[in-house]
Amino acid sequence: MNLANNFEVAANGIKANKLRASLTMLGIIIGVAAVIIMIAVGQGVTQKVQDQISSMGSNLLMVYPGTGQGPVRGSGGSVATLTLEDAEAIAEIDSALYVAPELSSSATIGYNNQTWTSTYNGTTPELLSIKNWTISAGSFITDDDVTNIAPVAVLGKTVVDNLYPSGEDPIGTKIRIDKISFTVVGTLASKGSSMGGQDQDDVIYIPITTAQIKLLGVKSVRLVDVQVDKAENMAAVQSNIESLLRQRHRLEGTASDDFNVRNLASVLETVESTSAILTLFLAGVASISLLVGGIGIMNIMLVSVTERTREIGLRMAVGASESDILNQFLVEALVLCLSGGIIGILLGVAGSKIIAMVAGMTMSVKAYSIVISAGFSAAIGIFFGYYPAKKAAGLDPIEALRFEK
């Protein structure tokens, strides 16, 4: 019996026992689908994190105030150890392409009789380039606005949508931030949500000097964004920032830094590494279903050998060799696993697309995950089908013909 005939016999066997074959393939179907979905979800999450970190700026260092032994102490990120002058000094470092201090707080924003609670962020013009913001109308804040402590504001899309009637142009209108009047000079294009799910469009940008003097009455800044010209210069710029700030803050000897410098590239590497490990773990858990499916294949094939003992004896009696019987049952196991694998692949692709739509992620099923799943299905069919096939091939023809169910 040639290979084509073996496949034909296997297909006829599946058709003759559809319910049993379907239940046998169930473990393979679930396992393959789960592996594909887990890999797709893991890659989708990684891609989303990459996109969101990229939306915060490329080659970005973020300098935060923090606990130290300098003149001002406190909990990390909540102390006033960074100033506008620190940001100006950092801007003089080689390879520091753009430097923008930030100082933010929440407030009730008013326009006519409409109010909205949002976050205002005092900054400088460089932030537009660092954050890759696009101006949809008007302009961003300017150096003159910062120098003159101008009461001007640039609005994110969410703020515009919640303060202004549909179709009204915000440019030139007056809004109130903590009862202080600001002129709207620009609006921003939509940017979506950040890594933590925070709406990046729910923001108002104003000159940092205006935030310091007119709204908050402070001299400090909340953080300093530093965009480096090239990725290979990140480490050198970070080191130079640390040395500069220790000198400016008079931190000598073993005194702890009163600031923290965070490298978003390092954060991304950590997230990607963690995501890869988690994806492998989830795929490993999902592959247990493949093992269970393989055991089911073996059980059913053993039952099939018992049920067809007389048939096996008859085939041997008319000239079938042990290799013919072995190949016949191996092909049957292989067909069961590959059929389950194909159905599992289709379900996995469909499931990935559904999850992507529900979660709002961009997910694509990689070709290698399909190849791996199909390969596992075939391997399981051969591995778990070999023992029943070998048992069938080793039957004595005379004893097989005398076998009674």
Q: According to DSSP H, which parts of 91-249 are helical?
A: 127-130, 143-147, 157-163, 208-210, 234-248
pLDDT on residue 68: 44
Contacts 24+ apart (CB under 8 A), 124-128: 124/87, 124/100, 124/207, 124/208, 125/100, 126/98, 126/99, 126/100, 126/225, 126/227, 127/98, 127/100, 127/102, 127/205, 127/225
Collapsing DSSP to helix, strand or coil, 275 comes out as: helix
The answer to whether the CB of 331 falls within 8 A of the CB of 389 is: no
In this structure, how many other beta carbons lie within 10 angstroms of the beta carbon of residue 65?
25
Residue indicated by tokens 């949500």: 193
> CA 36, 37, 40, 46: dihedral to nearest 10 degrees?
-130
> In 3D, which of 309, 305, 294 has the Cα closest to residue 388?
305
pLDDT on residue 400: 62
From start to end of 195-336, where are the E strands? Answer: 203-207, 223-228, 259-263
Residues of the chain with pLDDT under 70: 1-4, 6, 9-10, 13-14, 49-58, 67-79, 193-197, 267-268, 271-272, 286, 397-398, 400-405
Model confidence pTM above 0.85? no
DSSP secondary structure letters along 53-109: HHHH-SSEEEEEE---SSSS--STTSS---BHHHHHHHTTSTTEEEEEEEEEEEEEE
Q: According to DSSP H, which parts of 189-263 are helical?
A: 208-210, 234-248
Q: According to DSSP H, which parts of 155-263 are helical?
A: 157-163, 208-210, 234-248
Q: What would the pLDDT profile of 340-386 be if each residue is shown by its tens digit? A: 888 888 998 898 888 888 877 777 777 777 887 777 777 877 787 78
Q: Which helix (H) or strand (E) holds 336?
A: helix 322-359
The answer to whether the CB of 96 falls within 8 A of the CB of 237 is: yes
In this structure, how many other beta carbons lie within 10 angstroms of the beta carbon of residue 288?
13
Q: What would the pLDDT profile of 264-279 be if each residue is shown by its tens digit? A: 777 667 766 777 787 7
Q: What would the pLDDT profile of 43-91 be if each residue is shown by its tens digit? A: 777 777 666 666 665 688 999 997 544 433 333 345 678 999 999 999 9
Residue indicated by tokens 């529900």: 358
Position 355: which residue type? I
